[in-house]
Structures are given as C-alpha cells and as structure tokens.
C-alpha cells in the first residue's frame, strides 16, 4: 500500500483514502467555441502517458475531500512531491 502525503492535511495517509483524478495541468479551454476538432481531440483524449515523472491529480476522498496535484514516477510508483491545486508544477520534474 502506497502512502500519499496530502498537502492540505499535511499527513501521510494510505492510498485507499484517495482517488485518482488523471493527468494534471490540463486547462479547460477559455473559449470552447473557438476550438477546432484537432484541438478538442488534444484537450479531451491525448495524454502524455510518460514512463517516468507524471504530474497527476489526486483527491483525498476519505479525508479533507480536496483535490491536489502530485508528481509520481510511473515506473517505481514513488511519489516525488505533492502540492496544492493552483500551485505550478515543481521545476526539475520534466523528464
């Protein structure tokens, strides 16, 4: 069982308290009507799916119930850092 650090509760809690929310930092288009089909495809369906550091959303569903972001290595499943929603992705994790 993975322990995940909730940046709001500031505690390491077991994985079963959390739900996964997919790739992070995918911004909803400000003017959806202006997008063409290719841009919609990218926004809705294209994902980085990297082998290595992955910025992703998690929700502390059985705790504070808030969404936050994390950078996790997809080969080792090790969490490198978790940070609050709205904060930028930490530098140095862009491999």
Given the rule CB under 8 A, which residues bind another protein?
1-2, 15-16, 19-20, 23, 37-38, 40-42, 44-47, 49-51, 54, 56, 72, 74-77
What is the smallest separation between the CB atom of 73 and another protein, expressed in angstroms?
9
Please tell me the total number of residues recorded for the chain in this structure: 95
Rounded to the nearest whole angstrom, what is the least distance from the CB of residue 12 to another protein in the complex? 16
Going by DSSP bridges, is the β-strand pair 67-73/79-84 parallel, antiparallel, or unpaired? antiparallel
Smallest gap from residue 51 Cβ to another protein (A): 5
The candidate with the shortest Cα–Cα distance to 46, out of 32, 28, 26, 29, is 26
């Amino acid at each position: 069982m993975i322990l995940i650090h909730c940046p709001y509760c500031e505690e390491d809690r077991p994985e079963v308290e959390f739900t996964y929310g997919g790739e992070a930092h995918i911004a909803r288009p400000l003017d959806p009507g202006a997008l063409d089909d290719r841009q919609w495809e990218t926004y809705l369906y294209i994902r980085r799916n990297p082998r290595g550091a992955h910025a992703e959303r998690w929700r502390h569903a059985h705790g504070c119930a808030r969404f936050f972001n994390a950078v996790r290595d997809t080969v080792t499943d090790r969490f490198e850092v978790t940070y609050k929603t709205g904060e930028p992705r930490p530098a140095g994790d862009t491999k």
